[in-house]
Amino acid sequence: MDLFWEQHTREITILVISALVLLTVLILVPQLIRAHHRIMEMHHQEHLRMLENGQPVPPPDNRSQAAGRTAALVPMVVICAAGTVTCFLGAYQPENLFAVSLAVWAVAGVVSLAAITGGVALLGRLAQLQSDRPEDEDQKEEEEFTPHSLEK
């Protein structure tokens, strides 16, 4: 039995890690779907209350949602990928384990930082565009109602 463990430790390690990842996904995905469903239900109730009160329903902000999801999900996926690569490296024990692992995690850090920075910058720009929109509409209304237009 000891000979079996010595010969197949790498394969068993990869099998156990794969099982843990699968178990994690099977637990997290239903919870994420439930949370998304609750959020959508709350938005729906809020919109119904706004319609009952006679207030206009704001349009959905899909661009900000996409930017936020990108800024959040890209680092998660990159870190999971770097962890998977590191596990495989640890299981197969190459000669330059530290150098390759360092390179993998450095790339993961740079990609994560770029995704977070880009997502936050995009969210800031979208917020700026949304805050500029009412001012532009107010200026157009002011231009339409000048004293010269009343004389006509």
User: Where is the domain boundary, 15, 33, 58?
Assistant: 58
pLDDT of residue 18: 83
Number of domains in the chain: 2
pLDDT tens figures, 43-60 = 999 999 999 999 988 888
Average pLDDT, the chain: 84
Residues 77 and 122 in one domain: yes
CA distances from 94 to 98, 107, 108 (A): 9, 19, 20
Report helix angle 97-144 to 62-92, nearest 10: 180
pLDDT tens figures, 113-146 = 999 999 999 999 988 888 876 544 545 555 555 5
- The C-alpha atoms of residue 57 and residue 132 are separated, in whole angstroms, by 19
